[in-house]
Homo-oligomer: A and B are copies of this chain.
Amino acid sequence: MILITHALTGDSHCTGYYSDDDENPGWWEPLIGPGKAFDTNKYFIICSNCLGGCQGTTGPASIDPETGKPYALSFPVITIRDMVNTQRTLLDHLGIDKLLAVSGGSMGGMNVLEWAVSYPEKVRSIIPISTCGRLSPQGIAFSEVERQAIISDPNWNGGNYYDSDLPANGLAIARMIGHITYLSSESMLKKFGRRTRKDDEVSRFGKRFEIESYLHYQGDKFVSRFDANSYIYLTKAMDFYDVAENCESFDEGAAQIKSKALFISFRSDWLFSPRETAELVDAMRKTGREIDYHEIESEYGHDAFLVEYPKYSYLISRFLERVSRYYNS
C-alpha cells in the first residue's frame, strides 16, 4: 500500500481518467499505473484530497453544519500535521495499518515528511520530492504577496464571497505569481523568450509579451477551479511547516525521521531548491543513516517534478523494489 500526497493546488485525482469528460488524466499519470514507477500491478495506491482544500475533503468552502453556510474564515487554522492526521483517519477507516511508502512533491512532500515524523511505526519508506523540511523566507515572502493579492480584492470581503462575486482578480494574480515561482528563468527564456503577440496590442497596457499571455491564461483558468480561502489556508500551512517544530534544533527534527528515504530535487527549482532539500538530507545523514538523495539536472524549475518523469521514475521503481524485498525477506 502506497499513499500519494498532492501539492498545493492538486487533488486526489493522481492518475488515469475518471470519466469521459476528463480533459486530462491525473496529475502524476506518467508515474502511477501498470508497469509504471508506482506499479499498480504490484502495489495498491491511495490518494486523498487534503484537509483545507476545495476538492472534496473539508475546507473553508465546506458547509458548516451548525450554520448551514460555508465556514469561510471560521474554518480553523490547519497545519501539515492536521492534513496527515486526516489521511491517517482515512487509512484507519479502510483498515490499513502499514504503508510501504508515502510519496508526493512540494506541499505533498511536506505531508510525506510529516508522516515519517508523526507515525514512524506505520511508514516503511518515504519518497519526498521537490520539497524541504521548512520553507525558505523567500518562499514565505511569495506566499504572503499571493495572499495579499487575494485579501486586497474587494470581492474577497473578509472571506465571505460564496454567495456573491468571487475574488477572481486577486486569486488570478496569486496564481500568476505562483507560476513565476514554478518555472525557472532558463525555462521561461527557452519557452517564451521576449516574443510578443501582435493580436494582444489592443489596449495601451494590454498583454503583449508571450510570457504575460501565459501567466494571464494560467491565472484566469485557475479561478474557476480553486477556492481563494483554501489558497490562504494551505499556503499558511506550508509557511509554518517545520519538520523540527518543538525540537531543540533542526538536526533533532531531522533525526525523528527513521523510515528509509529517497529524496529527489531538481537543480533549477528555486522555490524548493536543492539547497533546502540538502539541508534536511545532510541533517538526517548526521545520524549515520544512509539516505538516497538525487539532485537531478533540469531546467524546468519547481515544475520539474511534474515534467521530468524519464529522469526520475526509474529511481522510484528501484527504490520501491528494494524496500519491498527488505520487508518481504
Copy number of this protein in the oligomer?
A: 2
Q: Does A51 sit within 8 A of B, measured CB to CB?
A: no
Interface segment among A17-25, A104-112, A133-141: the answer is A133-141
Cβ distance A265 to chain B, nearest Cβ, rounded Å? 15
Q: Any chain B CB within 8 A of the CB of A63?
A: no
- Whether the pair A188, B148 counts as a contact (CB closer than 8 A) is no
Establish whether residues B176 and A148, one from each chain, have CB atoms under 8 Å apart when the complex forms: yes
Task: Report A185-212 CB contacts with B as 1/0, cut-off 8 Å.
Answer: 1001100111000000000110101111
Chain B residues whose C-beta falls within 8 Å of the C-beta of A148 in the assembled complex: 169, 172-173, 176
A145 touching B215, Cβ below 8 Å: yes
A192 to B239, CA, bound (A): 14
For A232, give its contact among B142, B147, B192, B205 (CB under 8 Å). B205
A137 touching B205 by the CB < 8 A rule? no
**Minimum Cβ distance to chain B for residue A180 (Å):** 5
Known: A189-B136, A194-B134. A215 touches B149 (CB 8 A): no
| Residues of the B chain whose Cβ atoms lie less than 8 Å from the Cβ of A77 | 204
Taking CB atoms, residues of chain B closer than 8 Å to A154 are 154
Closest to A239 in B: B209
A141 adjacent to B212 (CB under 8 Å)? yes
**What are 15 residue pairs bridging A and B, where the CB atoms are less than 8 Å apart in the complex?**
A77-B204, A134-B194, A137-B211, A138-B180, A138-B183, A138-B211, A140-B212, A141-B180, A141-B215, A144-B176, A147-B205, A149-B149, A149-B173, A152-B153, A152-B169
